[in-house]
């Protein structure tokens, strides 16, 4: 019988491997809001916020971002709208999670 060990699998003398650090909620929020904002901007319609994996509060951010991005797209083109989406998603999500997270229930 041949037994092999995997690196980092634990045991005496095995090197300890650190878990990756968790991504802050404001970063996750900005990523998902920016992703779905582009989808909505390019597709023209909104989906159900739950099917997008968004909370109600994140969906509120998305609607605001998309409204502003649509106006920017008309004035300055798609690249400017995408830049606005990235910037506004980061700013709005950072503001939302600045105090550690929403406090009005899990759906907020």
**pLDDT tens digit sequence for 59-81:** 999 999 999 999 999 999 999 99
Q: Provide mean pLDDT across the span 46-69.
A: 92
Of the candidate ranges 15-29, 69-83, 94-108, the one whose mean pLDDT is the lowest: 94-108
pLDDT of residue 16: 59
What is the C-alpha to C-alpha distance for residues 26 and 30, in angstroms, rounded to an integer?
6
pLDDT of residue 61: 97
pLDDT of residue 46: 80
What is the C-alpha to C-alpha distance for residues 24 and 12, in angstroms, rounded to an integer?
34
SS (H, E, C) 18-57: CCCCCCCHHHHHHHHHHHHHHHHHHHCCCCCCCCCCCCHH
pLDDT of residue 92: 97
């Amino acid at each position: 019988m041949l037994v092999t060990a995997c690196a980092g699998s634990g045991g005496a003398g095995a090197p300890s491997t650190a878990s990756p650090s968790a991504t802050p909620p404001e970063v996750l929020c900005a990523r998902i809001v920016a992703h779905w904002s582009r989808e909505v901007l390019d597709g023209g319609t909104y989906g159900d916020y739950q099917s997008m994996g968004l909370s109600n509060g994140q969906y509120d951010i998305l609607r605001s971002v998309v409204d502003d991005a649509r106006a920017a797209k008309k004035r300055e083109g798609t690249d400017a709208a995408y830049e606005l989406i990235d910037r506004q998603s980061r700013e709005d999500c950072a503001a939302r999670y600045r105090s550690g997270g929403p406090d009005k229930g899990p759906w907020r």
